C-alpha cells in the first residue's frame, strides 16, 4: 500500500511552544500559548530552567497568529470529523484521515497537545514562559481577549508570575488582566525568609512577597504559591520554615504547593553544597521541616504535594502524601496531614534514614 504523498508547496502550520508548565495545569489537556520566552530575571541560584536563554517578550501579533494557527488546526480536525460522520468527535480514524489528506499537519510541533486539548473540551490554557506579567498589561490583555474570543469553550487561563513583577503592577492593570480572562497565577515564593531570599538571589523580600500576593488576591486571581522545603539546608532550616509560614499566613493564598529542594547540577547553589557551605537535609530532616511549617500555617486554603519531588514513602510503599493537585484543605485536614507526616518520620527513623 502506498503511503501519503507529501505536498512540497504546503509548509506545516507553526506555533511556538515552550518547555515548562506546572503539573497542576490540566495534565496533557491544557493548551500552551507562549507569550514570552524564558525568564526576565534568570538569577535565582537554585534554578536552571532558562539558564543561558535570553528573555524575549513576543509581540502581540506573533502570539495572536499562534492562536489563529491553533484554531485553524482545530477547524481542520473538526471538519474531518464531520466529513467522516463522527459529529465532531476526535477519534483515531479522524486523526489518521487528516494526516492522510493533509500530510503537512504531521509536522506540527504540538499537534498531540492540540488534539488532546480539543478532545477534552478545550477548557484550560497555560501562558508560557516564566513571567507573563512582564508583558505590558495592555498587550497581555489583548492576547487574552483574542484567546477567549477565538475559543469560547475556555474556562481557565493561568500563568507563572514573578512576585516582584506582581508587586510592581498597578491594581487597575491586574484587574484588567483578570477581567480579560486570566484566572490563576502561579508564583514562586520559595521562602519567606529574607536572609535566604537574598542568598538565593530571588530579587524580592518577604514583605514584597506579601504585598504581591495580596495584590493578586485583591484583583480576584486564584493564587498558587510554591515553596521549597530544604532550600536553606541544615544551616537555615528553622528560619526558612518559620518565616515561610509567616509570609504564607499573611498572604492567605488559595494554594501552597511543595517543591522540595534538590540541587540542579551546575547551578550556584549546587556549588555551595559541593564546597560544604550549605548542607543538604537528610530525608527525615527534610520531612521534619515540612512538619514545622504545616504546624505554623494558619491560612484557609490548600497545601499540595503535586510533584514527584515529594518523594517520602508511606508504610504501604506508595507516596506518603497525596500527590493530587488539590491536596489537603486547611485547617480541616491539618491533623490528618500531620499524622501522616509522623508516620513517614517513624518509618524513616526505623530504617535509619534520619541523619
Ligand atoms: S524567577 Fe523563576 S524562572 Fe526565573 S530564575 Fe527565578 S526561579 Fe527561575
pTM: 0.93
Angle at 37 between CA 212 and CA 76, to 5 degrees: 115
9 — pLDDT class (breaks 50, 70, 90):
low
Q: Grid coordinates 504585598 are at which residue?
A: 211
pLDDT, one tens digit per residue, over 122-169 is: 999 999 999 999 999 999 999 999 999 999 999 999 999 999 999 999
pLDDT, one tens digit per residue, over 10-54 is: 667 889 999 888 887 766 689 999 999 999 999 999 999 998 999
Q: How far apart are CA 64 and CA 68, in angstroms?
A: 6
Nearest CA to ligand 1 atom 6: 44
Q: What percent of the chain has pLDDT over 90?
A: 88
User: Quick check: CB of 41 below 6 Å from ligand 1?
Assistant: yes
User: Quick check: CB of 47 below 6 Å from ligand 1?
Assistant: yes
Nearest CA to ligand 1 atom 4: 42
Pocket test for ligand 1, best of 47, 161, 269 (most atoms within 8 A of CB): 47
**How far is the centre of ligand 1, averaged over its atoms, from the C-alpha of 42 (Å)?**
5
DSSP of 48-88, one letter per residue? -TTTT---EEPPHHHHHHHHHHHHHHHHHHHHHHHHTT-TT
User: Quick check: CB of 130 below 6 Å from ligand 1?
Assistant: yes
Nearest CA to ligand 1 atom 8: 47
Q: What percent of the chain has pLDDT over 70?
A: 95
Amino acid at each position: 500500500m502506498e503511503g501519503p504523498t507529501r505536498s512540497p508547496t504546503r509548509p506545516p502550520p507553526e506555533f511556538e511552544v515552550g518547555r515548562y508548565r506546572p503539573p497542576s495545569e490540566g495534565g496533557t489537556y491544557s493548551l500552551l500559548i507562549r507569550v514570552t520566552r524564558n525568564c526576565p530575571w534568570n538569577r535565582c541560584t537554585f534554578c536552571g530552567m532558562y539558564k543561558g536563554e535570553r528573555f524575549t517578550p513576543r509581540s502581540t501579533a506573533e502570539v495572536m497568529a499562534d492562536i489563529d494557527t491553533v484554531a485553524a488546526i482545530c477547524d481542520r480536525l473538526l471538519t474531518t470529523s464531520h466529513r467522516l460522520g463522527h459529529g465532531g468527535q476526535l477519534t483515531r480514524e479522524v486523526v489518521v484521515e487528516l494526516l492522510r489528506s493533509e500530510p503537512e499537519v504531521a509536522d506540527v510541533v504540538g499537534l498531540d497537545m492540540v488534539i488532546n486539548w480539543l478532545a477534552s473540551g478545550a477548557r484550560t490554557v497555560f501562558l508560557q514562559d516564566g513571567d507573563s506579567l512582564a508583558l505590558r498589561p495592555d498587550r497581555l490583555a489583548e492576547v487574552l481577549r483574542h484567546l477567549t474570543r477565538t475559543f469560547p469553550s475556555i474556562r481557565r487561563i493561568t500563568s507563572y508570575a514573578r512576585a516582584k513583577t506582581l508587586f510592581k503592577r498597578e491594581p487597575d492593570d491586574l484587574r484588567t488582566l483578570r477581567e480579560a480572562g486570566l484566572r490563576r497565577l502561579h508564583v514562586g515564593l520559595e521562602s519567606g525568609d529574607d536572609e535566604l531570599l537574598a542568598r538565593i538571589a530571588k530579587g524580592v523580600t518577604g514583605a514584597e512577597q506579601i504585598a504581591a500576593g495580596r495584590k493578586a488576591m485583591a484583583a480576584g486571581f486564584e493564587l498558587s504559591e510554591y515553596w521549597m522545603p530544604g532550600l536553606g539546608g541544615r544551616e537555615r532550616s528553622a528560619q526558612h520554615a518559620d518565616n515561610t509560614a509567616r509570609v504564607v499566613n499573611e498572604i492567605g493564598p488559595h494554594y501552597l504547593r511543595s517543591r522540595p529542594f534538590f540541587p540542579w547540577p551546575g547551578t550556584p547553589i549546587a556549588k555551595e553544597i559541593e564546597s560544604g557551605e550549605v548542607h543538604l537535609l537528610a530525608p527525615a530532616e527534610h520531612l521534619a521541616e515540612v512538619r514545622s511549617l504545616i504546624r505554623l500555617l494558619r491560612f484557609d486554603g490548600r497545601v499540595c504535594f503535586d510533584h514527584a519531588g515529594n518523594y517520602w514513602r508511606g508504610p504501604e510503599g506508595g507516596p506518603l502524601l497525596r500527590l493530587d493537585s488539590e491536596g489537603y484543605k486547611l485547617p480541616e485536614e491539618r491533623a490528618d496531614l500531620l499524622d501522616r507526616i509522623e508516620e513517614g518520620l517513624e518509618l524513616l527513623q526505623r530504617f535509619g534514614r534520619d541523619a
